[in-house]
Structures are given as structure tokens and as C-alpha cells.
Structure 1
Amino acid sequence: MMDQDPLSQLRDIHLPEPGGFWPPAPGWWILLVLIVALLIVVALLIRGKRRKNRWLRIARREMNQLARHVSQEPQWFAQLNALLKQCARERYPGERPEAMSGSRWVDFLLQTSPDEQSVSRPIVEAMIRSSWRPEADADPEQALAFARTWLEGQKC
């Protein structure tokens, strides 16, 4: 009768084998999908911002080229003025700044400038006048400084 004892047939407790590394649990798959989606969204946002500010990088390059060849010639001031108009057209397309001239163009530059307007007005007026007069009456360094300040204030 002893061999019929059910307790004698019991064995020691055996722990289950530890889980392997692969395949991961469903929660890890969900986390992986969320991280990949987040990376794609961030990459698209960065790409869009870079594309949106491409004109600014090109303008900085052209501004540096003008800075290397600073001149008192009206042609230099005309190039600087043309660069500012191109940038204004990219940044403010609805206001049609490329069609502005004279005091309207000066007012536009001052209104969109991050710098103090009353200090910059004589510099901007001299820069604009110097682009079409036979002899420039503006200081190219001051004009370049204003143009750089204006350009850096145009970031999107």
C-alpha cells in the first residue's frame, strides 16, 4: 500500500528556464515603432526648416563675399541693395519688397530690422542713395554692418 502513496511520487520543484533575449515582448516592439516614428518626424522637421532657410544660408555666403571686396563704388552698394531685396522677397513675399524703392524701401528695411530704427535711418538712406549715385556717400562698413544685422533678424 505504500507504493500507492501519491506523495511518494512527487518530485522536487523545478524552476522554469529563463526567457531568452529573442523575441522581445510586444511592449518592446511598440516602443521601437514609437522611437522610429519620432526620429522620422524630427528628421522631417529639421529638413523642412533647412529647406525653408536655404535662402538665408545663400545670402550669408553672398554677404561674406561682399565683405571680402568692400568698396566705395556705387556698383558695390547696388549689389548689397540687390541682395537685401532678394532676401526681403524670400522673407516677405506678400509685401512685394523687390518693387519698392526710395523712402518706401528705407522704411521697409527699418520696420523689419531688429536694430534701433532711429540710429540706422541715416545709414540705410546713404546706402540706398549710394547704389545709384556716381559717387557713394555712405560708409561701406556701416552699410555692411546694417545689412548683416538686418539679415540675421530675418530668421524664420
Structure 2
Amino acid sequence: MSQTLNLLDIHLPEPVSWWPPAPGWWLLLTLIFLLLGGLRFIQQQREKKQLQKITLHRLDIIFAQYEQDSDTSKLLQSLSVLMRRSCISYHPRIDSAGLTGQAWLRYLDATAVHKGFEHGVGEILASAPYRPVQSMPVDTQELHNLCAHWLASQSQPS
């Protein structure tokens, strides 16, 4: 006798959809974003160190040139330009670019660890362009130290 079994046909499951991805893919995506963020942070730190190194080197060049030619007017002009450019590089342009005179010196003191721009040797930076060369007594070593401390203490560039 031949008996046939009443078997149903095999049903295949629904195909796996591509969305939502498995938890492993979410983890991989998160790790990629963390890696990219970490690389960006490292790049910013390198740029900051490089900018500080360049500005401190430029400061040393300015003072070495002063030691050769003893031109106080040129020293103060170059130093003022370096400090303004550095200030714009380290801080938002809108905060620092338009400042002049005492307001600029106050801003330098506000962003400095060692104060001395508004009421100290640094105040010559604001008044030097308007004074005769003969009437500019300046302690260049103290001015160098003040500017070097300011440049070294600045945070990440804007």
C-alpha cells in the first residue's frame, strides 16, 4: 500500500532588510566618528603648537634684529604687528581686530596669565607709533618676557 503524507511546502523566511542595521554596525559607526573626532583634535593640537612655535620664533627674530641695529622704533612696530596678528589668530576676529590704544592693552591683559600690558612695560605698544623716537625708554628684556609669556599662554587658535 502506498501512502502519501500530506506535507506542506517549505516556506522561506522574509529576506533580511538592510534597515535597521545590526548593533555591530552601530558600534562600528560610533567608533568611526570617535576616531575622526580624535584625529581632528590631534590635528588642532599640532596646529596650535606649530603656531606657538612660529610666533615665539618670530619674537626671537624681532629681538635679535633689535640687538643688531638698536632701532627701538622698528622693534616696537614689529612687536605690535606680531602681537596684533597673534591676537587675531588666537581669538575671534570680532573681539580683537578693531581694538586700539588702551582697549587693546586691556584685551591683552584680559587674555594673559601675566598682566603688564595696560599698566606696565607693555603699554608702550599702544603709544609708540605716536611718540618721537628719542622719548621711548623701554625695558626690552621685560617686554620680551611679557610678550613671550602672552604668546606661550594662548589657547587654541580660532
TM-score normalised to structure 1 length: 0.63
Please give the alpha-carbon distance, in whole angstroms, between the structure 2 residues aligned to 1:41 and 1:111: 31
Alpha-carbon offset, residue 137 of structure 1: 2.6
Please give the alpha-carbon distance, in whole angstroms, between the structure 1 residues aligned to 2:99 and 2:92: 12
Alpha-carbon offset, residue 108 of structure 1: 0.8
Asked if the contact 2:106–2:118 (Cα under 8 Å) also holds between the matched residues in 1, the reply is no
| Aligned twin of 1:60 | 56
Asked if the contact 1:113–1:150 (Cα under 8 Å) also holds between the matched residues in 2, the reply is yes
Percent of aligned positions that are identical: 17
Any residues of structure 2 matched to 1:127-146 within 5 Å, and which? 127-135=125-133, 136-146=136-146
Any residues of structure 2 matched to 1:39-50 within 5 Å, and which? 44-50=40-46
| Aligned twin of 1:81 | 80
Please identify the structure whose Cα radius of gyration is greater.
Answer: 1
Q: Aligned-pair RMSD on alpha carbons?
A: 2.8
Secondary structure of the corresponding residue to residue 86 of structure 1: helix
| Aligned twin of 1:91 | 90
Please give the alpha-carbon distance, in whole angstroms, between the structure 1 residues aligned to 2:91 and 2:35: 31
Alignment coverage as a number of residue pairs:
121
Please give the alpha-carbon distance, in whole angstroms, between the structure 1 residues aligned to 2:41 and 2:128: 41
Gaps of 5+ in 2: 1-27
| Aligned twin of 1:126 | 124
Alpha-carbon offset, residue 106 of structure 1: 1.1
| Aligned twin of 1:29 | none
Q: Structure 1 residues 62 and 40, CA, compared in 2 at 3 Å: closer, same or farther?
A: same
Please give the alpha-carbon distance, in whole angstroms, between the structure 2 residues aligned to 1:98 and 1:50: 25
Q: Structure 1 residues 40 and 99, CA, compared in 2 at 3 Å: closer, same or farther?
A: closer
Secondary structure of the corresponding residue to residue 67 of structure 1: helix
Please give the alpha-carbon distance, in whole angstroms, between the structure 2 residues aligned to 1:54 and 1:144: 20
Extract structure 1 runs of 4+ deviating beyond 4 A: 37-44
Asked if the contact 1:66–1:80 (Cα under 8 Å) also holds between the matched residues in 2, the reply is yes
Secondary structure of the corresponding residue to residue 121 of structure 1: coil
TM-score normalised to structure 2 length: 0.62
Please give the alpha-carbon distance, in whole angstroms, between the structure 1 residues aligned to 2:115 and 2:76: 22
